[in-house]
Amino acid sequence: MKKHFLSILVFFICISACVPELFAQSSRKKYFSKPQIGLWYGPVTPIFETSEYLKPDLGGGVFFRYNLPYDPLKIGIDSSYQSYGSEGVNSVTLIPLYGNLLWLLPIDLPIRFQLKAGGGACKVKMQPDDIEQWEPLLMLGTEVSFPAGKLANVALRLDYLCIYEEHMNGGKKNGHFFNAGISLYFNLNL
Amino acid sequence: MKARHSIIFIFLLLLFSLSCGKEPVFTEMSTSRLKIILKGTLESEKGYMSPFVTPAANSTSVEDSDHANDSVDDIKGPSEDVYPTKLMLDIAEIRLGGKKISNYRQTFSIALSDSEPFFNGEGIELKTDDPGDGRYDTVEIFFRKMIFDNAKIYKSTGSGFVYEKDAEVIFKEKTVTGFDFNQLMVNSYWDSLRKESDQVIRVFPMVIPIIGGLNYNKENNETVLEIRLVFKNFIKKYEYDYYDSGIYKVCHYYAPSDWLRDVRAGESDIGRNLHGVAKALVKGQTGSITVSNPSLGYVVAIPADEDISDYFISKDGKLIRDDVKGDLPLPPNYPGAYISAVLDYYLKYEKYKNDWNTKRADLDSSSPAGLSDILDKYEYYWDVYESTVKGTGYGLKIPPYVGYGTSVTFNEMAVGSYKFYRFDAPAYGQLNTSFTSLNGGNVVTINAGANTGF
């Protein structure tokens, strides 16, 4: 219930912040090109074979993005908190920490489309076995955003995370997760 | 700027390369190395089972002949009583050494028949997750409901009882005929002397000892945890007394035999009469042995470091209870505001007072262990009772390996040292009161693979 309330609250903050700016002029692009810091919140769900033993939930995270000399590209760091239960007694908590490269698609619209790819590590905690360890992580994602004034942007982000385990001794499966979230991020004057 | 990018790049590269987890979590969750098998028999070995006995519901083996001291006392041997045909189990949760390994709700409706895996030694598999590595000495099963069908309700007419209807209960969200005796699995009599008796349901959870322990290691092959509950040929009839809108009624229902903890007239608590045992096996680390039995009966094996006296009682529970001088009668239940029922209650209450005084005088005249205070004597007798019925710890132990026949092959024994015993098949609804050593009482070491029998 608390999670639902938070989701609705975040959603309305985002919408109310951006409605007057939905039709902002294209010169917003220069603000978008600044370093950015933001947060996201939304449903996180195991997919493919991972969905056979874990259940979807809600998660959230923070991120920071920095410009590269080539304008359509940015480099970013993401971290989030995701906790998954199961039908049984197993539960898994993930804290991904990864870097990614973002590419702003050259489409001249107030709404911006970005593609993301990256990698890093993920802290994986499994109960009741009490396993806690860092594992390699790869990600792919996309993001649809629009400016909400000079300072803020609102986006819908869709990410696929793969926690790579097959390199381990006895590892036969990887963890596959899909994150969808509404995010609010701010342009910084760095 | 370039330096900053390089730092970020190097940091991410480090993160990726330092991700050095050793346990494949997602592989672990998708595989199951622990298999829990539940059986309803005293015997552990498939192919070495005593056949199912289905006695008549009113036979003396199901309904005690000594009605004066038996749960079934108000209406004896009514023609409507029928031996149950079905056992229904509703399991809420399983824990291993107190740690949750399964919270899958699992329900089973099992015919009382030799063809059922639950009763033929094959067993039914319980859904579970794997535990963490470690040693576990107990398994706890949380039974939400345990039901035998063919429970009959009779109502008082003033001069006798007439059959009213079959008792009904909810099982798996549906109404079925039967009686959920789970709610009465309070430690028989003993717990009712305690203030917290209503909270002490002995099957929520039922704590079952794992004889020899379970050493769980993920590196091993499949580990099998076999749990046995003694239901087969161990079912008796009980009488539950109650008032319904001022009308006195009794329900005849079936539950595990009160051979150990005798249930007497007017008593409703029947707990700790369901006996359970568990043993663990790791595939590839088991041996087999064939044991000759001098005559038809049971062959059992227990770990060499166990004491056989933990596995039997010296005499029937009924006789053990007879020795308790502080066995005071229970007061009648108040029926509510119905005049004829209340008058009946006061009559019963007068009888209760008389019986109570007789028992008290009996207790007062005794002097066990030189005790003089009557409360000390009362405590003494019940403490003796409790220790005689193996009330401390996990209760009466059931041997981990049991087979029935003149020659029994134990196909899968965990490697280790064992002592072998035998006993004759006891009467229906009873377990053993003595053991005879086999192989001259010598310890036998079981190695992986085939072992030389005796």
Q: List the structure tokens of B147.
A: 């039901």
- Check if the beta carbon of residue A160 is closer than 8 Å to that of residue A126: no
Spatial distance between the Cα atoms of B279 and B416, rounded to a whole number of angstroms:
13
- DSSP-derived letter for residue B333 is P
- Check if the beta carbon of residue B450 is closer than 8 Å to that of residue B288: yes
- Supply φ then ψ for residue B80, to 5 degrees: -75, -20
- Check if the beta carbon of residue B40 is closer than 8 Å to that of residue B148: no
Say how many residues make up chain A: 190
Q: What is the ipTM of this complex?
A: 0.79
Between B155 and B11, the higher pLDDT residue: B155
The nearest CA of chain B is from the CA of A27 a distance in Å of 25
The nearest CA of chain A is from the CA of B184 a distance in Å of 29
Q: Taking CA atoms, what residue in A is nearest to B94?
A: A89
The burial class, CB within 10 Å (0-12 / 13-18 / 19+), for A142 is middle
Asked if B22 lies within 8 A of A169 by C-beta distance, the reply is: yes
The residue of B7, B15, B99, B103 whose CB has the most chain A CBs within 10 angstroms, and thus the best one to mutate to test that interface, is B15
In percent, how much of chain B has pLDDT > 90?
Answer: 62
Closest in A52, A119, A131 to B16, CB measured: A119
Residue B276's nearest CA partner among B410, B402, B449, B100 is: B402
**Residues in A touching B142 (Cβ below 8 Å):** none
Query: DSSP letter string over chain A?
Result: -HHHHHHHHHHHHHHHHHGGGTT--GGGHHHHTS-EEEEEEEEEEE-GGGGGT---EEEEEEEEEEE-SSTTEEEEEEEEEEEE--SSS-EEEEEEEEEEEEEE----SSSEEEEEEEEEEEEEEEETTTEEEEEEEEEEEEEEEEEETTTEEEEEEEEEEEE--TTSTT----EEEEEEEEEEEEE---
Report pLDDT digits (tens) over A53-94.
999 999 999 999 998 888 889 999 999 999 999 988 899 999
- DSSP-derived letter for residue B149 is S
Asked if B25 lies within 8 A of A136 by C-beta distance, the reply is: no
β-sheet bridge partners, residue A79 = A62, A97
Spatial distance between the Cα atoms of B339 and B387, rounded to a whole number of angstroms:
44
Spatial distance between the Cα atoms of B272 and B191, rounded to a whole number of angstroms:
10
Is residue B231 classed as helix, strand or coil in its secondary structure?
Answer: coil
Residue A172's nearest CA partner among B27, B25, B220 is: B27
Angle between helices B374-388 and B339-365 (to 10 degrees): 90
The residue of A129, A166, A167, A176 whose CB has the most chain B CBs within 10 angstroms, and thus the best one to mutate to test that interface, is A129
Spatial distance between the Cα atoms of A150 and A24, rounded to a whole number of angstroms:
10
**Residues in B touching A120 (Cβ below 8 Å):** 12, 15-16
Helix (H) or strand (E) holding B318: helix B317-322
- Phi-psi region for residue B122, left (φ > 0), alpha (ψ -120 to 50) or beta? alpha
Lowest mean pLDDT among B77-86, B93-102, B199-208: B199-208
How many Å from the N-terminal Cα to the C-terminal Cα in chain B? 84
Q: What is the CA radius of gyration of chain A?
A: 18
- Where do the DSSP E strands lie in B245-341? 247-256, 276-282, 286-303
A with B: how many residue pairs have Cβ under 8 Å apart?
Answer: 117
**Model confidence band, residue A26 (pLDDT cutoffs 50, 70, 90):** very low
Q: Cβ contacts of residue A46 below 8 Å, gap of 6+?
A: A53, A54, A55, A56, A84, A175, A176, A177, A178
Asked if B28 lies within 8 A of A126 by C-beta distance, the reply is: yes
How many Å from the N-terminal Cα to the C-terminal Cα in chain A? 39
Which B positions 95-124 lie with beta carbon below 8 A of chain A?
99-104
Spatial distance between the Cα atoms of B365 and A143, rounded to a whole number of angstroms:
90
Lowest mean pLDDT among A4-8, A166-170, B49-53, B379-383: A4-8
Report pLDDT digits (tens) over B297-310.
999 999 999 999 99
Structural domain span for residue A118:
2-187
Residue B88's pLDDT is what?
97
Q: What is the mean pLDDT of residues B187-212?
A: 69
**Residues in B touching A76 (Cβ below 8 Å):** none
**Residue found by looking up tokens 């006296």 in the block:** B309
For residue A128, say if its preceding peptide bond is cis, omega within 30 degrees of 0.
yes
The amino acid occupying position A168 is M
The nearest CA of chain B is from the CA of A148 a distance in Å of 28
Closest in B5, B102, B132 to A68, CB measured: B5
Indicate the number of domains in chain A.
Answer: 1
Asked if A135 lies within 8 A of B28 by C-beta distance, the reply is: no
**Residues in A touching B129 (Cβ below 8 Å):** 86, 88-90
Closest in B12, B15, B25 to A124, CB measured: B25
**Residues in B touching A68 (Cβ below 8 Å):** 5
- Check if the beta carbon of residue A83 is closer than 8 Å to that of residue A91: yes
Give the CATH number for residue A157. Answer: 2.40.160.20
Q: Taking CA atoms, what residue in A is nearest to B96?
A: A128
Closest in B16, B22, B100 to A120, CB measured: B16
Asked if B28 lies within 8 A of A129 by C-beta distance, the reply is: yes
Residue A18's pLDDT is what?
47
- Phi-psi region for residue A6, left (φ > 0), alpha (ψ -120 to 50) or beta? alpha
**Residues in B touching A33 (Cβ below 8 Å):** none
Which B positions 33-52 lie with beta carbon below 8 A of chain A?
none
Closest in B23, B102, B127 to A133, CB measured: B23
- Supply φ then ψ for residue A5, to 5 degrees: -60, -45
Asked if B22 lies within 8 A of A122 by C-beta distance, the reply is: no
Q: Taking CA atoms, what residue in A is nearest to B8?
A: A99
The burial class, CB within 10 Å (0-12 / 13-18 / 19+), for B192 is middle
The burial class, CB within 10 Å (0-12 / 13-18 / 19+), for A48 is middle
Residue A39's nearest CA partner among A142, A132, A153 is: A153
Q: Cβ contacts of residue B346 below 8 Å, gap of 6+?
A: none
Closest in B19, B27, B104 to A88, CB measured: B104
Reading across the β-sheet that carries B161-166, which strands appear in turn?
B161-166, B152-156, B247-256, B235-244
Q: Taking CA atoms, what residue in A is nearest to B98?
A: A128
Q: How far is CA A44 from CA A98, B7, B350, in A?
A: 17, 30, 69
Between B133 and B444, the higher pLDDT residue: B444
Report pLDDT digits (tens) over B373-384.
999 999 899 889
Q: How far is CA B274 from CA B163, B256, B394, B430, in A?
A: 29, 6, 12, 12
- Check if the beta carbon of residue B57 is closer than 8 Å to that of residue B120: no
Residue B133's pLDDT is what?
86
**Residues in B touching A129 (Cβ below 8 Å):** 23, 28, 130-132
**Residues in A touching B132 (Cβ below 8 Å):** 128-130
Report pLDDT digits (tens) over B22-44.
788 898 888 888 999 999 999 99
**Model confidence band, residue A21 (pLDDT cutoffs 50, 70, 90):** very low
**Model confidence band, residue A167 (pLDDT cutoffs 50, 70, 90):** confident
Q: What is the mean pLDDT of residues B214-221?
A: 88
**Residues in A touching B128 (Cβ below 8 Å):** 88
Spatial distance between the Cα atoms of B274 and B258, rounded to a whole number of angstroms:
9
Q: Taking CA atoms, what residue in B is nearest to A129?
A: B132
Q: What is the mean pLDDT of residues B105-123?
A: 95
Residue A23's pLDDT is what?
43
CA B104 to chain centre: 21
The residue of B2, B14, B25 whose CB has the most chain A CBs within 10 angstroms, and thus the best one to mutate to test that interface, is B25
- DSSP-derived letter for residue B187 is B
Q: What is the mean pLDDT of chain A?
A: 85
